[in-house]
């Protein structure tokens, strides 16, 4: 694992399988929970991964976060020490989006901010040299077609929505936009299934896609219960864990997702559908404004060490 920006080398893409169209060099934009998880997954799959970060601090922290994630895989018996070391060697880090020029697939995993993502796709469109490269977004809720419009190659843009924790959860939502080429969708589906070993489902390009369109009314309803004083977070979570066999209660899950991300997704869905069940509750908005973001900040509906 390095932080150099020397262009990576690989074999001729044509030597790859027809199914994955030789995708061997992957770029990841962002080093948060999702970006780091995607980079880890790709590295564990033997791919050449380059992660673009947004600050010098991230350039220092991102390799540590990646190493910690791989170490967890070893401690849980999911990864051998040799596989961990090999994965670390497959990843490099940079602050320069221009260093993604040779990538065959770039996955944007920045925070849920429409303007930020539009700006990133405009830059990636100019930086990535391969006309056949796929530009993907890991957005949870923003329209893929809108992001694709920021590029001169909308046919090459689609959504690849992974779930947290990325190395563990098997599902990936594949979201083609209205102008995504069918062959691009097929390449991406084969890559997710055959190279990454995940289970892809194809979902419509609408806010929330499929999973979050079902999940977020449930999460927001649980928050409204707490807001109204009907029940505490602990009681709501206990009810869903022990009464419905959910592995995690809705307030615990919101904390894991990040309350700021929960607000962003809810707002995007409310903007599209204008239905009250998608509107973020006032309690949630005040918590985010107060810096209570869940696990990432050490406090949300619960307090974390």
Q: Look up 99 and say whether it is catalytic.
A: no
In terms of DSSP H, where are the helices of the chain?
33-44, 56-75, 81-89, 114-127, 144-148, 182-190, 211-228, 233-244, 250-257, 259-273, 282-289
Catalytic residue among 212, 227, 246, 289: 212
Q: Which of 127, 138, 173, 264 is catalytic?
A: 173
Residue 138 known to be catalytic: no
- Residue 207 in contact with residue 144, Cβ under 8 Å? no
Q: Phi first, then psi: what are they for 18, rounded to 5°?
A: -65, -30
State how far Cα 29 lies from the chain centre: 10
DSSP state of 2: B
Catalytic residue among 161, 245, 272, 282: 161
Catalytic residue among 58, 140, 141, 264: 140
Any catalytic annotation for residue 140?
Answer: yes
Active site residue 90: no
Handedness of CA 56, 58, 62, 65 (dihedral sign): positive
Output the CA torsion sign for 83, 89, 93, 98: negative
Residues with a known catalytic role:
140, 161, 173, 212
């Amino acid at each position: 694992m390095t932080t150099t920006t020397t262009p990576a080398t690989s074999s001729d893409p044509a030597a790859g399988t027809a199914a994955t169209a030789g995708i061997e060099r992957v770029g990841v934009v962002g080093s948060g929970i999702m970006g780091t998880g995607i980079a880890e997954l790709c590295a564990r799959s033997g791919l050449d991964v380059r992660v673009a970060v947004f600050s010098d601090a991230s350039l220092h922290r991102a390799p540590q976060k990646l190493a910690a994630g791989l170490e967890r895989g070893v401690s849980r018996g999911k990864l051998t020490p040799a596989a961990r070391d090999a994965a670390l060697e497959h990843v490099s880090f940079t602050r320069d989006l221009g260093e993604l020029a040779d990538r065959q697939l770039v996955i944007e995993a920045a925070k849920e901010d429409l303007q930020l993502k539009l700006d990133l796709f405009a830059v990636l469109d100019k930086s990535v040299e391969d006309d056949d490269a796929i530009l993907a977004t890991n957005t949870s809720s923003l329209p893929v077609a809108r992001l694709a419009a920021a590029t001169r190659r909308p046919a090459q843009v689609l959504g690849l929505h992974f779930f947290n924790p990325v190395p563990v959860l098997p599902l990936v939502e594949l979201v083609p936009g209205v102008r995504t080429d069918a062959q691009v969708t097929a390449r991406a589906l084969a890559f997710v299934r055959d190279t990454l070993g995940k289970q892809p489902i194809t979902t419509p390009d609408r806010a929330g896609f499929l999973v979050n369109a079902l999940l977020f009314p449930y999460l927001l309803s649980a928050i409204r219960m707490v807001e109204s004083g009907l029940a505490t977070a602990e009681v709501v979570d206990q009810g869903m864990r022990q009464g419905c066999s959910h592995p995690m209660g809705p307030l615990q899950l919101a904390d894991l997702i990040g309350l700021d991300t929960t607000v962003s997704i809810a707002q995007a869905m409310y903007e599209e559908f204008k239905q009250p069940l998608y509107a973020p509750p006032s309690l949630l908005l005040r918590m985010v404004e107060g810096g209570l973001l869940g696990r990432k900040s050490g406090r949300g509906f619960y307090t974390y060490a």
